[in-house]
Amino acid sequence: MHLPTSTQLQNLLDIATEAALAAGAILQTYLGKLEEIEEKGRPGDLLTAADKASEVAILDVLRRHVPDQPILTEESGQLGTTESEYLWAIDPLDGTTNFAHQYPFFAVSIGLLFAGIPCMGVIFDPFHNELYRAAKGLGATKNRHPIRVSQTTELNKSLLVTGFAYDRRETADNNYAEFCHLTHLTQGVRRSGSASLDLAGVAMGRVDGYWERGISIWDIAAGVVLVEEAGGKVTAYDGSPLQLRSGRILATNGYIHDSISTELGRVSPLTGWENPLVKR
């Protein structure tokens, strides 16, 4: 196995940037003009024409530049060969529910894995015109300027961010208990609705830590590289190496990582909770 060189990673980073900017421009044209919104199965798991058009733009760029590399997208699934060591992981619109409500917190997320490990990522927030880029060994930037994680060293002085999975109505394993527990131990916990921007927030020091369950590879592949290259730490809840397909992630500035990991281990899932909207 030959790891990509810095030159190769820079080239791939530029390709991902081209794709992300093209997709972001399309999202802006759809904002506030959606005519139809679909649900993909679970309540709140939405699909719009903007998702589809953004994905088409990204795939067009990638197929022109790297036609032999496989792609995993939220909307179309696995595309291309399964024999390559590369895998692009794409969310053409991370934060679809926000977008559908014109809540200005959504992004394009384009990550690249090599031999199963995230090695490059681009996240573009077209509403605020914020472009995040990172590649292994090349650092992390926002709008081409270097970024670093925060210096907060105490949990009680930290600001965290998290999210709730689409199946939260059906399962007690839904992050509600962790949200309440860590809210009491910190200066606050925010819920944005976009995992990629949550990770970007950790990378640039807007928040000190992020955890979530029920997420997919395309939600986090780009952001993992961004946090690590900005000096942060990304693992499983218990501090062991991150398993991308586990659906769980803990990302922090590094200083409060062990503290959050310990607290997550102390929380039991909610019991006895019932959704009053679900007929039994």
Considering only CA atoms, which of 99, 98, 48 is closest in space to residue 74?
A: 48
Residues annotated within the binding site for Mg(2+) are 74, 91, 93-94, 219
Q: SS3 for 164? A: coil
As a residue count, the chain comes to: 280
Residues annotated within the binding site are 74, 91, 93-94, 219
Q: Which residue has the tokens 């131990």?
A: 185
Can you tell me the distance from the alpha carbon of 159 to that of 182, in angstroms, rounded to the nearest whole number? 10
Determine contact, residues 148/205, Cβ cutoff 8 Å.
yes
Task: Give whole-number Cα distances, 118 to 9, 90, 136, 220, in Å.
Answer: 12, 12, 8, 9
Contact residues for 197 (Cβ-Cβ < 8 A; gap 6+): 94, 95, 105, 106, 107, 123, 125
| Residue 256 backbone dihedrals phi, psi, to 5 degrees | -105, 15
